Structure formats: C-alpha cells, structure tokens
Structure 1
Amino acid sequence: MRAATTTRRGGIAALGASVALLLGACAGGLDPAASGIGGADVDPPAATVAPAPDVPGESAPGESAPAASGTALAALSGLPVKGRAPQTGYSRDQFGPAWADIDHNGCDTRNDVLARDLTRTVTDPGTHDCIVLSGVLADPYTGTRIDFLRGQATSTAVQIDHVVALSDAWQKGAQQLDGVARRQLANDPLNLLAVDGPTNSGKGDGDAATWLPPSKAFRCQYVARQVAVKQAYALWVTQAEHDAIAGILARCPDEPLPAGGPAPDVAPVDDQGDDPADDDAGAEPQEPFANCDAARAAGAAPVHRGDPGYSSRLDGDNDGTACE
C-alpha cells in the first residue's frame, strides 16, 4: 500500500504541475504546443496489446521482432487467409493411389518414409530392400520410442501421417490443383512423417487450430512443416489456423522453413488420374495379375499399389505392396 500511495501521489503531483504549466502558458499568450503541452513531443498513451488467440496446450506469447527471411514465421505471413471451402467431392482417390511409387525408385512411399524416419531398420532383401520389416522410431509426436515390427497385427503401431491432412488440403485449395499436383502432395516427403499410430488416428484431419502434437518440443517444427507444405502447393489457411500457427512460432521466431527435396518425377496424368504411360504397347499387363506366380513370372514382383498389374486381392496385409 505504501508503494501504491507514493505512485498515486507522484501522479497527482505531476498532473498538478501540468495543469499549472498549461494555465501559465495560456495566461501568457504562449502556444501550448511550444511549451511541450499537447504537442508532438508528448508521449501518447501506451497501446493496449490484445491477447494472443488460444492455442491448444500453449499460453499467450509476448510481442516479437519482425520475422526474418527464410523462417516459417515469414512464410506464414505470405499465406492467403480464407474461409474453409466445402468438403464436397473429396475422396482419398482424388490424390491418386495410396503410397504410389512416384519417384520410381521401386519402393512405395510408405516404405520410403519408414526407411527415412526409423533407425536400426531391417529390410526384406527379396524386395530389393524396399520393405521395412522392423526398426525403431523416435516418435516426434509423443517423444517416445516405438519398436516397429511389420505384420497385420503390428504394422499400425507406426503410421505415416500427412502433416497437412488431405481432407484439410482439399478444403483449402487442393481441389483446384490438377491430378498430378494432388498425387505429388499425397506422396511428398515434406508432408509425411512416421509417427505413433494411435496419436495419428486421434489427429484425424485437424489443422493447427484444432490439433497439435502432444510433445510441445516438436510443435515449432510441426507447424513450420505445415506452412512449408501450404506454401509449396499454394494452399491457404483459415484465420483461426493462421493465429494458432503464429502463436506457436512466436516462441521460436527463428524456426527455419523446412526445405523439400527435389520434385518427384511425376508423369502427366489424364482427367481420370491414370498414368498415360500405362497405355504404351509392350508395357506390363494392364489387368491385375491372376496371382503372384504370374507376377513373378513376368518379373514384376513385388507389385506396388498404383503399378500395372497390382490388385488388393494380392496384397494380403494391405500395405500397398503385393507379392512380396
């Protein structure tokens, strides 16, 4: 109470002095501005800073310096802010076959990401070391270790997450992309992470305004990757999403914008999303192989989802690779 009383007395005294000065200036015919009263040299009232929007699991940030070039925060400022478009017309098929081998390295995208993100991997030599049989994941979403073992009952422990969910992308610009760009978005390593399966299932198609990784230590990297994907594919953000991302990046303003690798070698597709190269004479048969013996006899095994001759009937564990 003593400090508060002193402050109030000081303020009252200062106010009295200001009034006296103003009265004296007016009585003497002086310009109040020339005496420093009411002129440009008087400090304006302090601006009121609006509280930052709520971000799941985060507290409101303080003011920050302008974003530096090359940071996710700078890139965020360049993303269009619009409302969410209707989900009408969305289906997973709009983004091409799941885990297609769009880089033509002989391995489907799921196994490419597993090989990239897991350590101590063991691969199946019979698949040209494409199929990851086991490995260890340092899960970025939960900060835990997961021992991955391939199998019908165990593979789902590790899932490949689309950092920008395809449904979310569809509602924020992807429906305006052509089939080639959408297929690339669905298989772009920039937009893919191997993560804890149950946590990924809980995310659904949420954006940063509705879902963030439980591990706070990874949130800066997570939203930075979302910004990079949306920038690369000319997608937009909603106002709530923009504010949520900005709230996270305010705590790590120097978080770099992740760089994608070289653009995958994607062949043009027709209006139906089929690869026209499949129509070439002398190519592998267009109808699904009758069985895996036929696929092996044609030298096509393993057959990846999206490749000529693939059929889910031949893919017993539904991992995108048949006749392994």
Structure 2
Amino acid sequence: MATYMPFPRSVTAVLAAAGMLLAGCGPLQDGAPDGHRGGTSAGPPDGRGPAAPDGRGGSPLQNPDGTKPGLGPVSTDADRAEARALIADLSTRGRGPKTGYDRDAFGYAWMDTADGVPLARNGCDTRNDLLKLHGRNVRFRAGSDCVVVSMDLYDPYTGKDIAWKKAKAAEVQIDHVVPLSYSWQMGAARWTESKRKQLANDVLNLLPVEGRANSAKRDSGPASWLPPNKKIRCSYAVRFAQVADKYELPVTTADKAMMLKQCEG
C-alpha cells in the first residue's frame, strides 16, 4: 500500500491559488453587475455544464431525470418507438374528483427542502433553480448567486425566445408538466405529504415557459391541452410519461391515447 505524504503548507497554498485562477474563481465583488462569481451566465447548477447555445436542449429520452436544460424534439423513428413503449406501459384510470385539493398539500411553493429530488437543499428555491438551469445569459441580484433578475429563455411550448426580466416576472412561469391538481385527481390525494412535495419540486416535472401558455394549460392532461409548438408535442408527451412512470401515477385513457398519437411519427 502506498504511503500518503502530505504537501508542505506552502506548496498546498500555491496549488490552491492556481486552481482558483484556472477555475475562474475569486472573491465575490460587492456591487458586481450580476452578483455572481465568474461571469454573467450561470449555466446549469452542480457543474453539469453550459446550456445548449440556443437553449433548446435534447430529447427527453436522453434526459430521464430532467437535470439537463431545454426540451428538444424526439426526432428519429427509433426514439419515437422508445417513446411509444414508455407511454404504453402507463396504467390508466378515470379522473377522480378535485374535492379537497389545495396547493399547500404539496408544500409551500418552490420550497428548497423537498427530499429525494435533484437540486434540493442547495440554498436556492426551486423556481430560481429552474431559471438558472434553463436560462441563458443569466444575471443575478447583486450579492446573490441564486436570485435571477434577467435571462434569455427558449420556450419549448411556443418556440419563442423570451428576454425575461424579474420586473415582469409573470412573463415566464414554471409549469408542472403533470399538473398538481391532475395528480391529486389521479391518486396523489392518498400519497404521503413527502411524496407530494417531491412531485411539486422535482425538476423532471418542471419547465420554465411562457406565462400565457402555462395559464392556458391550467390543470389539463394531454387530451385537453398540448403545446402550441407542434414540433415538441411528442417530447411533451414523453416528459409527461416520465413523470407519471416515476411516481407510479396513472393517466386517463384519453390522455394516454393522445400521448401515443403525438409520437406516431
């Protein structure tokens, strides 16, 4: 077995300083324009690399946990076949009553303390985590590396590029791909509170999109609402199915049929 020999303190200090320079790290500058170490663009959290240059991302089949930015088309016959297989495995049931539904049953909005989901307990709320993950040219409030005040976003639902500023926050909203009310009617009413908090804050189930598109969707399933951007409809169906599969959540027969139709090719 090799014997570990520690570096002298002077050598360690030099190496540490050099590492900080190479990584672009340095002390946070008071009053820096973006309030962030090392530039104006955050990219995805936790070292997952920068977003795609156009923000559109790849197929959800190559992003099964939702931690990569963007939502790109499902474009090949092989991927469409894989998408249909995923959707076909979903169980179905009728949509139950909305009786007793309350947003607070899924925890307070954008909590950072949901267990068992990516990006939780990192000191930044879920909404800002999503803006950082999917946005480009992200800028932060001075003195913060969490609170996003402006960014560029490609909205997969409409196919539009949005130059967003916090002063008009409602122009970008975070969509629950599987709406919380929908999940409640499909069985989440009987879940533990912990599992409901996971669903509400899981990046797999969350996308920042144009506010008007999100408002139009409300708590609809795929049979009642699909993204206006037709190129992304199979991807949307896949993401809906990925969430339903992860949380063992059934979908309605009509929703399943519509999801399969979107991925027919």
For the residues of structure 2 that align with 1:159 and 1:197, how far apart are their CA atoms?
5
Gaps in structure 1 of 5+ consecutive residues: 1-63, 252-324
Shift of 1:144: 0.8
For the residues of structure 1 that align with 2:191 and 2:231, how far apart are their CA atoms?
33
Corresponding position: 1:104 with 2:115: no
- What residue identity is the alignment partner of 1:100? M
From 126, 135, 142, the counterpart of 2:151: 135
From 121, 146, 153, the counterpart of 2:138: 121
Describe the superposition over 1:57-79 as per-residue Cα deviations: whole angstroms up to 9, x where unpaired.
xxxxxxx99x85xx332122221
Superposed counterparts of 1:214-229, under 5 Å = 214-229=228-243
Describe the superposition over 1:90-145 as per-residue Cα deviations: whole angstroms up to 9, x where unpaired.
11011001000131100000000000111000012423x10001000111111011
- What residue identity is the alignment partner of 1:106? G
Corresponding position: 1:168 with 2:182: yes
For the residues of structure 1 that align with 2:142 and 2:237, how far apart are their CA atoms?
37
For the residues of structure 2 that align with 1:197 and 1:167, how far apart are their CA atoms?
18
Corresponding position: 1:78 with 2:94: no
Corresponding position: 1:149 with 2:160: no
Superposed counterparts of 1:200-239, under 5 Å = 200-239=214-253
Q: Is the 8 A contact 1:173 1:234 kept in 2?
A: no
Superposed counterparts of 1:15-94, under 5 Å = 71-94=82-105
Q: Is the 8 A contact 2:88 2:260 kept in 1?
A: no
For the residues of structure 2 that align with 1:132 and 1:73, how far apart are their CA atoms?
37
Shift of 1:234: 0.9
1:244 corresponding residue in structure 2? 258
From 195, 202, 219, the counterpart of 2:209: 195
- What residue identity is the alignment partner of 1:123? F
Q: Tell me, what secondary structure is at the counterpart of 1:213?
A: coil
TM-score by length of 2: 0.66
- What residue identity is the alignment partner of 2:174? I
Shift of 1:228: 0.3
For the residues of structure 2 that align with 1:170 and 1:218, how far apart are their CA atoms?
26
Gaps in structure 2 of 5+ consecutive residues: 1-76, 114-119
Shift of 1:195: 0.2
| Greater Cα shift, 113-122 or 171-180 | 171-180
TM-score by length of 1: 0.55
For the residues of structure 1 that align with 2:84 and 2:204, how far apart are their CA atoms?
17
Give the % identical residues: 46
Q: Tell me, what secondary structure is at the counterpart of 2:87?
A: helix
Bigger relative CO (Cα 8 Å, ≥ 6 apart): 2
Q: Tell me, what secondary structure is at the counterpart of 1:126?
A: coil
Q: Tell me, what secondary structure is at the counterpart of 2:220?
A: coil
